[in-house]
Structure 1
Amino acid sequence: MATVIFFHSVYGLRPLEHEAVERAQAAGHKAFAPDLYEGLIARSIEEGFEFKDEIGWQTICERAQWALAGLPASTVLAGFSMGAGVASNLWPKRERTAGILFLHGIAPIAGNARKGLPLQLHLAEPDPFEPEEDVAAWRQAAGKSGTAAEIFRYPGGGGHLYTDASLPDYDAKAADLTWKRVIDFLDAIDAKG
């Protein structure tokens, strides 16, 4: 079984992350979703950014590092939107990670990325927070990194956090396909041992 940690979006730890954990566990994997806001849950994206700024990026990343204590070095780093940035921040220190999952957000690729490391990016198309030129630059960087990057775009009516059923962004069809691909990704990591 693979072990995966899901870092939440700027909204805080919500049903989206709990659902991700449940889906991964139902597929036979170990999954965790730490609360990097220590109980704060935003009612709007604006409030979420206020929480993020009040807590501070360094503190958020320190809490994420602490949440990894005791988990295997191979733990898959996954993040939703802001959480992708958290996963990216930890990645250089987790050279033995078995994989990287960026959901709803692009984030820097570690300079010490292992050749062939499985990496998936899932984005709405278009995504109001990820301009096309940034996505194109990320795609180019991923190609040069040597990682085994897969980029999945989901056109249609969904918005930035299209897997979150509690938001107007939600797109059921795109969400179902994303979760299928995420579970297949974790299954493939598990099969590699």
Structure 2
Amino acid sequence: MKEIKKEDIKQEVFDLYDDYAHNRVNRREFIQKLSAYAVGGITVASLMSFMLPDYNGAIQIKSDDPRLISDYITYSSPKGAGTMKALLSKPVDAKKKLGGIIVVHENRGLNPYIEDVARRAALAGFISIAPDALTPLGGYPGNDDKGRELQSKRDRNEILEDFIAAFDYLKNHQDCNGKVGVVGFCFGGWIANMMAVRVPDLSVSVPFYGGQPPVEDVPKIKAPLLLHYAELDTRVNEGWPAYEQALKEYNKEYMAYMYANANHGFHNDTTPRYDKAAAELAWQRTIDFFNKKLM
């Protein structure tokens, strides 16, 4: 069996995986269409395995890292699901109250990648909270396909209420300085954009390749925005010109970056869509922005 390398994968395969990851094609259709690219000693099974997330070797900050206090908590979400589970993380040696960061997962629940990102945020000197939108359905099931299926059963506006409730929880936490920002990925990027609309005292919003809010809602945005987009992510990027025009029209504070030759999901280091250079640059820009706005 031929060893698959990222450079061997055609862009059409990444686009097909994006359709599958966002429920535009089902698993059967994904496998059928993937077969067209199983050539030159590459099997459908090996190609599919290569495209799907691999959490075994990609975790950067382990759950028992001695530099952090990281535990699961629950908080109240009166307008959402009632009671939500989340990972709360902070540096073990914090000497003062910290800026807060809400970390919002993709469309599949609180998986190991997002937990890792939440710990990275804490290690950078913040108190972070990473809620699991699948809490009312039993929580992240340990499998992204099943997680995506479960999340599709929840109303996204109710999920938005759950993350707004996380803002209230973190803002009033004894270890938080009262300044809270949000960073979200994919579906979580849409949540980050919508929290900027819905939460007047949100300190900063950082959507990674997130769907845009309705342009008529842009006047409601108070939080500074740092927006990350991937050049090859044509689906999400379609909404960016109108969003940017509205941000300019209403004199909103924002910075936007388009990462050349990067795919949707380029920050996720558990899949071949990962772009190391783009991911590290975007994350450093994100932490710098949080340091500026939350300290």
- Give the TM-score range, shorter chain: 0.7 to 0.9
- 81-90 vs 94-103, which deviates more? 81-90
2:221 matched to 1:122?
Answer: no
* Rounded Cα–Cα distance in structure 2 between residues aligned with 1:137 and 1:93: 19
1:137 Cα offset (Å): 1.5
1:112 aligns with 2:220: yes
Structure with bigger RCO (C-alpha 8 Å, 6+ apart): 1
Aligned residue for 1:90?
195
Indicate if the aligned counterparts of 1:106 and 1:138 stay in contact, CA closer than 8 A. Answer: no
Note the C-alpha offset of 1:47: 6.6
Q: Which runs of 4+ in 1 moved over 6 A?
A: none
The AA in structure 2 aligned to 1:61 is: L
CA contact (8 A) 1:76 1:100 kept: yes
Cα pair distance change 1:19/1:144, threshold 3 Å: farther
1:113·1:146 contact (CA, 8 Å) conserved in 2?
no
Whole-angstrom distance in 1 between the partners of 2:206 and 2:272: 23
1:12 aligns with 109
Q: Is the 8 A contact 1:113 1:145 kept in 2?
A: no
> Do structure 1's residue 21 and structure 2's residue 118 form an aligned pair?
yes
State percent identity of aligned pairs.
26
- One-letter amino acid of the structure 1 residue matched with residue 144 of structure 2: R
Aligned Cα root-mean-square deviation (Å):
2.2
Q: Which amino acid aligns with 2:158?
A: T
Q: Following TM superposition, by how much is the alpha carbon of 1:122 offset from its aligned partner in structure 2, in angstroms?
A: 0.6
Where does structure 1 lack aligned partners over 5 or more consecutive residues? Answer: none
Structure 2 counterparts to residues 15-54 of structure 1, below 5 A: 15-38=112-135, 39-41=139-141, 43-44=144-145, 48=148, 50-54=149-153
Q: 1:2 aligns with which of 99, 102, 111?
A: 99
State which structure, 1 or 2, has the greater radius of gyration over its C-alpha atoms. 2
Partner of residue 63 from structure 1, selected from 142, 145, 162: 162
**Are the equivalent residues in 1 in contact too, given 2:212–2:240 (CA < 8 A)?**
no
Report the counterpart of residue 141 of structure 1 in structure 2. Answer: 246
Secondary structure of the residue aligned to 2:219 is coil
Aligned to 1:103: 208
- Taking the aligned partners of 1:154 and 1:28, their CA distance within structure 2 comes to 26
Partner SS, residue 96 of structure 1: coil
- Per the TM alignment, residue 121 of structure 1 is displaced from its structure 2 partner at its CA by 0.5
The secondary structure found in structure 1 opposite 2:121 is: helix
Unpaired stretches in structure 2, ≥5 consecutive residues: 1-97, 172-177
Alpha carbons 1:79, 1:86 under 8 Å: kept:
yes
Cα separation, 2, equivalents of 1:181 and 1:19: 18
